[in-house]
């Protein structure tokens, strides 16, 4: 799909030829699975990402992706480069809680400024004072809804309006930065790029494994037609304004237009019709789904670093977390998911090999090179004591940007959303 420009259906047909079949994969929630995604959905997602410029594999940096995906380095991923960054919710001070490193808002300032992020959207309860972002020059918005649930139409509408008028990139977070965060970003993608719900969920999980949880999946399926219709109206009016050579910012004109509303099937989804916009009693000190997801992510990262590769035994199914990055090469011998990347793509003419994974003998050299390029700017909080209050001062130094980064986040409003995005990170989800 990426290098040979094959259609997803053609690729999938080759893969399932004969008796070969592939299991679907599910969300990262802890309940009964009621929604499956398939390998074909993922192939369609990659194809659409190429079509809309979300993905330029020749510029994808696997080391950068894996660095910032880790909890101690920020736990964030770009979904649409230059437009949407999804991240785990900041905390009043940097510390380790339930084994998961938490970061103060100040820890993100330098990276956000370097990459032209101008707007922060919080979807969970108030864990930090929003003034810490606004005083630093960022816009900050609160759109609270309960962990693991779909948003109301009012929240979706306000989210889309904020994003369509943002001057720069948008950083969205809930508690873990997966369920609520992924669901609202998905609404924007479906509206403005006409991707199906399945394609959108697949792309979100490719970029940030574990995104979109439980009933949120069915919510996106139900909203697909309405969001597509809204997008058609939006872009037709946008085109008319551009043809009229209007000097007024088109996105701000259209932000007040509400020709089509999304049907809010509250009863079908089993949600409360009078949900409060904000309730500090929700997600209190009890362990929430967001806590479980963050603990799960922290655990699998620790396993990857400390206990070596995951092995697959012959004729046995190895159960993996749906939020875990998945790399599996079908070969006669079992390979680790941290093994050197196959050079199969490099055999073709004109193809640049993007991964520079080192062999065991070169690990030390690679580590030195990587550390010089990707500073552990948020600090490896695993090395700190949980009661060390001075970590807040360390976090305030901000995130050291990539010294040789070629990425610049553009001011991507819908008015120039045809635009040539260059992705910063991608992973695969099992």
Which H or E run includes 170? strand 169-173
Q: Does the active-site annotation cover 174?
A: yes
- b/e code 42-68 from CB counts within 10 Å (16+ = b): bbbbbbbbeebbbbbbeebbebbbbbb
Three-state SS at 252 = helix
The separation between the first and the last C-alpha atoms of the chain, rounded to the nearest angstrom, is 19
Q: Which of 174, 207, 363, 369 is catalytic?
A: 174
**Token output for 59:** 């510029």
Please choose, from the candidates 53, 16, 56, the residue with its C-alpha nearest in 3D space to the C-alpha of residue 38: 16
CA 276 distance to own-chain centroid: 27
CB 174 within 8 Å of CB 143: no
Cβ-Cβ contacts under 8 Å for 422 (sequence gap 6 or more): 53, 56, 59, 81, 82, 407
CB 24 within 8 Å of CB 38: yes
Cα pseudo-dihedral 187, 188, 192, 198, rounded to 10: -40
Q: Report the DSSP pairing between strands 84-87 and 100-102.
A: unpaired
- Phi, psi angles (nearest 5°) of residue 370: -65, -40
Distance CA 141, CA 291 (A): 22
Residue 95 DSSP class: E
Cα pseudo-dihedral 141, 204, 5, 340, rounded to 10: 120
Distance CA 121, CA 142 (A): 6
DSSP notation for 96-146: EETTEEE--THHHHHHHHHTTEEEEEE-S---S-THHHHTTT-EEEE----
CB 282 within 8 Å of CB 174: no
**Token output for 289:** 């789904």
CB 175 within 8 Å of CB 288: yes
Active site residues: 174
């Amino acid at each position: 799909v990426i290098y040979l420009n094959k259609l997803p259906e053609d690729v999938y047909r080759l893969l399932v030829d004969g008796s070969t079949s592939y299991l679907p994969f599910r969300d990262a929630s802890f309940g009964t699975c009621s929604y499956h995604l398939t390998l074909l959905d993922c192939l369609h997602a990659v194809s659409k990402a190429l079509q809309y410029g979300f993905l330029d594999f020749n510029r994808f940096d696997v080391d950068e992706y894996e660095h910032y995906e880790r909890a101690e380095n920020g736990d964030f991923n770009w979904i649409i480069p230059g437009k949407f960054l999804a991240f785990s919710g900041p905390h009043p001070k940097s510390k380790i809680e339930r084994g998961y490193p938490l970061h103060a808002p100040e820890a993100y300032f330098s990276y956000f400024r370097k990459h032209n992020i101008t707007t922060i959207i919080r979807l969970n309860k108030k864990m930090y004072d929003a003034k810490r972002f606004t005083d630093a020059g960022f816009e900050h918005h609160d759109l609270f809804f309960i962990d693991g649930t779909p948003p109301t139409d009012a929240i979706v509408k306000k989210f889309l309006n904020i994003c369509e008028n943002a001057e720069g990139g948008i950083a969205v977070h809930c508690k873990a930065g997966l369920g609520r965060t992924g669901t609202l970003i998905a609404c924007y993608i479906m509206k403005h790029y006409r991707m199906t719900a399945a394609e959108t969920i697949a792309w979100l999980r490719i970029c940030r494994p574990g995104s979109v949880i439980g009933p949120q999946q069915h919510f996106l399926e139900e909203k697909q037609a309405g969001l597509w219709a809204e997008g058609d109206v939006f872009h037709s009016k946008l085109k008319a304004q551009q043809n009229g050579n209007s000097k007024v910012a088109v996105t701000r004109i259209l932000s007040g237009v509400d020709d089509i509303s999304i049907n809010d099937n509250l009863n079908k989804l089993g949600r409360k019709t009078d949900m409060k916009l904000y309730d500090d009693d929700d997600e209190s000190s009890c362990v929430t789904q967001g806590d479980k997801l963050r603990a799960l992510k922290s655990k699998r990262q620790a396993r990857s670093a400390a206990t070596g590769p995951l092995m697959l035994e012959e004729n046995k199914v190895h159960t993996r977390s749906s939020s875990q990055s998945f790399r599996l090469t079908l070969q006669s011998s079992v390979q680790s998911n941290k093994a050197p990347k196959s050079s199969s793509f490099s055999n073709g003419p004109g193809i640049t090999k993007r991964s520079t994974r080192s062999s065991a003998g070169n690990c030390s050299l690679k580590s030195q090179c990587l550390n010089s390029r990707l500073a552990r700017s948020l600090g490896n909080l695993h090395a700190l004591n949980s009661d060390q209050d001075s970590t807040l001062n360390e976090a305030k130094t901000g995130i050291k940007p990539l010294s040789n980064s070629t990425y610049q986040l553009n001011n991507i409003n819908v008015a120039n959303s045809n635009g040539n995005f260059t992705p910063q990170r991608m992973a695969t989800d099992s």
